[in-house]
Structure 1
Amino acid sequence: MSPLQVTRRGLLGLAGAGAVLAGAGAAAGYGFSTGAPDDVVGFRGAHQAGITTPAQDRLHFVALDLTTTDRAAVDDLLRRWTVAAERMTAGRETADRGAIPADVHDAPADTGEALGLPAAALTLTFGVGATLFDRLGITDRRPAPLAELPGFQGDRLDPARSGGDLCVQACANDPQVAVHAVRNLVRAGFGVTEVRWSQLGFGRTSSTSTGQDTPRNLFGFKDGTNNLKAEEPALLDDHVWVGDEGPDWLRGGSYLVARRIRMHIETWDRTSLDEQQRIVGRDKGEGAPLTGTAEFDIADLAATGPAGPVIADDAHIRLASAQHNGGARMLRRGYNFVDGSDGRGHLDAGLFFVAFVRDPQRQFVPVQRELARSDRMMEYLQHTGSAVFAVPAGLRDGDDYWGRTLLA
């Protein structure tokens, strides 16, 4: 290890920085550790990190397309990506003396903007899209649930913000660490992949551990109160991890659904508090359902008042609930985004929705169809991007690498 690598990780201890990942001990075995004092999330395990890992504060998500049909070239890239990813999640450069090579006439192997920064709980999660199988001539290995989502009422999807052969989700507690990770993987892919689209996110909009408080979305409401948690392994087995129904290369993995949802912030901000709360089905301060007093009170969807159901028939929490959708649940892992303005004085802002599910066709599709058709909140939302990826299981030993069992 070079002195620069020691410095990057040593600085964290010298500064007394780096928080212990909340709830990590209770979720041991799901690909992450406590992280103290280096704030390092384990890269290898039964499942990929970045799914049940306590959600970090920042996101850089990238979808890529292959520029080759050479399966060997793709396999080689995934080997190199794995090496670089494991080093970066440990707080190291992509290669020894990567940022400052011994010969100044050599191009650096690492772009260098993360020098001196801690690992910041960086996780890198890898997935493959349906189109990859056609490009590489392995359509027989594509699982049936990995298919393009159907069109939903009100969708205004931009093809330039949708789809992709591959994806990498980088989550970290420092935006520069997440951006550095994606930048270096994209750089390593030149000649094999090209960026199709990407999304930066801040301020997680879900909690994936019981040790985390429920965050708020850009409408100001607590988001993801009833999200699945890392400390619920039986529920994760039922709703998140692919079982024997999946192909060998995907068992123990999951499916990632991504949706870029623009929120009409200015219109929402002119809506009365009472109307906002009726649309959501919760109070804005505490986050309690309108039938309760505390955030985690169970919503009584049968309760009625003088004007009808206390939680309206078109309220978001009713239509998104497991009770309303035959028990369907998801592990949500979304982020807020603000991508400047649209040139007409309105923020291009909203929610980058990310969810991990065992079967997107049975879990996400029926829920989103119901929301698109009946949710009053849809008046304030516009879905502009969409993608589905299969996320293989975690890497168990030092010779294993991303995509090995798929491309073998």
Structure 2
Amino acid sequence: MGDADARADGPGRTAPSRRALLGWGGAGLALGAAAAGGTAVALRGDVAGTAGAGTAVPFHGPHQAGIATPVQDRLHFAAFDVTTKDRAELVALLKEWTAAARLMTAGRPVGEGGFGGLPEAPPDDTGEALGLAASRLTLTVGFGPGLFAKDRFGLAGRRPDALVDLEPFPGDNLDRARSGGDLCVQACADDPQVAVHAIRQLARIGFGRTAVRWSQLGFGKTSSTTPEAQTPRNMMGFKDGTRNIAGTDTAALGRHVWAAARDGSPWMAGGSYLVARRIRMNIETWDRTSLQEQEDIFGRDKGEGAPVGRSNEHDEPFLPAMKPDAHVRLAHPDSNGGARLLRRGYSFTDGTDGLGRLDAGLFFLAYQRDPRTGFIPVQRRLARQDGLNEYIQHVGSAVFAVPPGVRDASDWWGRTLFS
């Protein structure tokens, strides 16, 4: 977004006023627990300067940024419960969130900023990102199944068929406190403080109408939408996302990621469906497993990342050469009727579990055109056969309909659904 666009959407137009924010004071405190204490500060890199050329991802477009966008280094993901019962209040919230997101993704503070205003009122911006670059911040919003519940907001008849409640898979040990949500916001940036600030700001604006249900910090992207770049590694030390859909592969994105009007829900055209899974890894057990077994479980060598029997990580895998329960073999499109997912996962470490074991693993994020032909059949196969199951457990789960992008300065998140 250019600077002129940012000015057009400034506090004089659609951003919430300082007087309107008077009733929201203190809402940022709710993010203390959600942001996992001081973890964000500990993870923060040395990012200096102000928003400028090359640091801001365009906010407007047919698709939301943060899906096919080159994956940033850090994540703060939050799921919200909608606490208001008034449809008009929910629409107003989405408009206010959109206005704030336009500014933050351009590296600008919300409203009148974090200081210099009325001493008697809370500042319009919480202030911890002042002076930081935009850091390629993207904000991506999704709508959970609960938003479409009957007699809630009059949306029951507009729930997409593809927005299915995820079935319980074998081996799941889901924590309800880390699952579900009416709304989600995915904040990705190259500076963790920028990502945390964005979620905190939206939660503050939403105070009285939404409440944070759960959130997750992520680091060390485990999948890439830029296959020409170095493939990242997960917490088990293996390269992940080698065969991910590229953000520049318009044909694959159109076939596997972007929803279309002919799919049955015209308001979702240009959107996508997000499955989020918190996958805890049994790190201590994995670290005592032999290298050969680790490589057999994944179906790749640990050094180069090449498939079994191949020499380069990007070589086409020869699936029969792998163990029947190898992860790559079971997750490959050839084993799943051609199903492909666009993954944007991140590693996480959330301290220990009280027994001296790391609470660490993969925060799995996958976008697809339809979970019924994407994530669900793939996960059914993995849950029953994957040798990796001995070392992982799915402990959190959610699914969201991610609406199309915000087209211009007059548009807002969810307009196609509510109009």
Q: Does 1:55 align with 2:78?
A: no
Corresponding residue number in structure 2 for 1:210: 227
Q: Does 1:71 align with 2:114?
A: no
Structure 2 Cα separation of the partners of residues 36 and 206 of structure 1:
27
Task: Give the drift of 1:127.
Answer: 0.5
| Structure 2: segments with no counterpart, 5+ residues | 8-45
Structure 2 Cα separation of the partners of residues 57 and 16 of structure 1:
12
Show CA shifts across 1:73-94 (max 9, x none): 0000000000000100000001
SS at match of 1:283: coil
Q: Does 1:282 align with 2:297?
A: no
Q: Does 1:171 align with 2:188?
A: yes
Contact 2:223 2:344 in 1 (8 A): yes
Contact 1:38 1:119 in 2 (8 A): no
Q: Does 1:145 align with 2:162?
A: yes
Structure 2 Cα separation of the partners of residues 401 and 336 of structure 1:
31
Task: Give the drift of 1:270.
Answer: 0.1
Corresponding residue number in structure 1 for 2:135: 120
Structure 2 Cα separation of the partners of residues 395 and 37 of structure 1:
21
Corresponding residue number in structure 2 for 1:251: 269
The amino acid of 1:101's aligned partner reads: G
Show CA shifts across 1:246-302 (max 9, x none): 412211100000000000001000000001000000000000001200010111113
| Structure 1: segments with no counterpart, 5+ residues | 6-14, 19-34, 303-309
Structure 2 Cα separation of the partners of residues 150 and 318 of structure 1:
23
Corresponding residue number in structure 2 for 1:85: 101
The amino acid of 1:379's aligned partner reads: E
Contact 2:63 2:404 in 1 (8 A): yes
Q: Does 1:221 align with 2:232?
A: no
Structure 1 Cα separation of the partners of residues 74 and 168 of structure 2:
29
Corresponding residue number in structure 1 for 2:145: 130
The amino acid of 1:100's aligned partner reads: F
Corresponding residue number in structure 2 for 1:307: none
Corresponding residue number in structure 2 for 1:104: 119
SS at match of 1:249: helix
Structure 2 Cα separation of the partners of residues 121 and 353 of structure 1:
21
**Residues 16, 145 of structure 1: alpha-carbon distance in 2 compared, 3 angstrom cutoff:** closer
Structure 2 Cα separation of the partners of residues 107 and 66 of structure 1:
23
The amino acid of 1:203's aligned partner reads: G
Task: Give the drift of 1:395.
Answer: 1.1
Structure 2 Cα separation of the partners of residues 77 and 102 of structure 1:
23
Contact 1:85 1:124 in 2 (8 A): yes
Corresponding residue number in structure 1 for 2:200: 183
Q: 1:382 aligns with which of 384, 387, 393?
A: 393
Query: Identity over aligned residues, as a percent?
Result: 60
Structure 1 Cα separation of the partners of residues 416 and 338 of structure 2:
32
Contact 1:38 1:118 in 2 (8 A): no
Q: 2:177 aligns with which of 160, 173, 177?
A: 160
**Residues 397, 162 of structure 1: alpha-carbon distance in 2 compared, 3 angstrom cutoff:** same
The amino acid of 1:196's aligned partner reads: R
The amino acid of 2:250's aligned partner reads: P
Contact 2:117 2:123 in 1 (8 A): no
Q: Does 1:312 align with 2:323?
A: yes
Contact 2:47 2:132 in 1 (8 A): no
Contact 1:256 1:355 in 2 (8 A): yes
The amino acid of 2:68's aligned partner reads: T
Task: Give the drift of 1:349.
Answer: 0.3
1:11-30 matched pairs, under 5 angstroms: none
**Residues 313, 177 of structure 1: alpha-carbon distance in 2 compared, 3 angstrom cutoff:** same
Structure 1 Cα separation of the partners of residues 103 and 122 of structure 2:
19
Corresponding residue number in structure 2 for 1:238: 255
**Residues 292, 211 of structure 1: alpha-carbon distance in 2 compared, 3 angstrom cutoff:** closer
Structure 2 Cα separation of the partners of residues 236 and 103 of structure 1:
48
SS at match of 1:252: coil
Corresponding residue number in structure 1 for 2:404: 393
Q: 2:315 aligns with which of 293, 297, 313?
A: 297
Structure 1 Cα separation of the partners of residues 116 and 345 of structure 2:
38
Q: Which contiguous aligned blocks of 4+ residues in structure 1 show a shift greater than 4 angstroms?
A: 15-18
Corresponding residue number in structure 2 for 1:271: 289
Task: Give the drift of 1:137.
Answer: 2.7
Q: 2:352 aligns with which of 320, 336, 341?
A: 341
Contact 1:54 1:212 in 2 (8 A): no
Structure 2 Cα separation of the partners of residues 226 and 322 of structure 1:
10
Show CA shifts across 1:340-372 (max 9, x none): 000101000000000000000111001001000
Corresponding residue number in structure 1 for 2:209: 192
Contact 1:49 1:394 in 2 (8 A): yes
The amino acid of 2:371's aligned partner reads: P
Task: Give the drift of 1:151.
Answer: 0.6
- Count residues with an aligned counterpart: 372
User: Structure 2 length as normaliser, TM-score?
Assistant: 0.87
Structure 1 Cα separation of the partners of residues 120 and 236 of structure 2:
51
Show CA shifts across 1:306-340 (max 9, x none): xxxx3100000000000000000000000000000
Structure 2 Cα separation of the partners of residues 38 and 117 of structure 1:
14
Q: 2:370 aligns with which of 356, 359, 375?
A: 359
SS at match of 2:71: coil
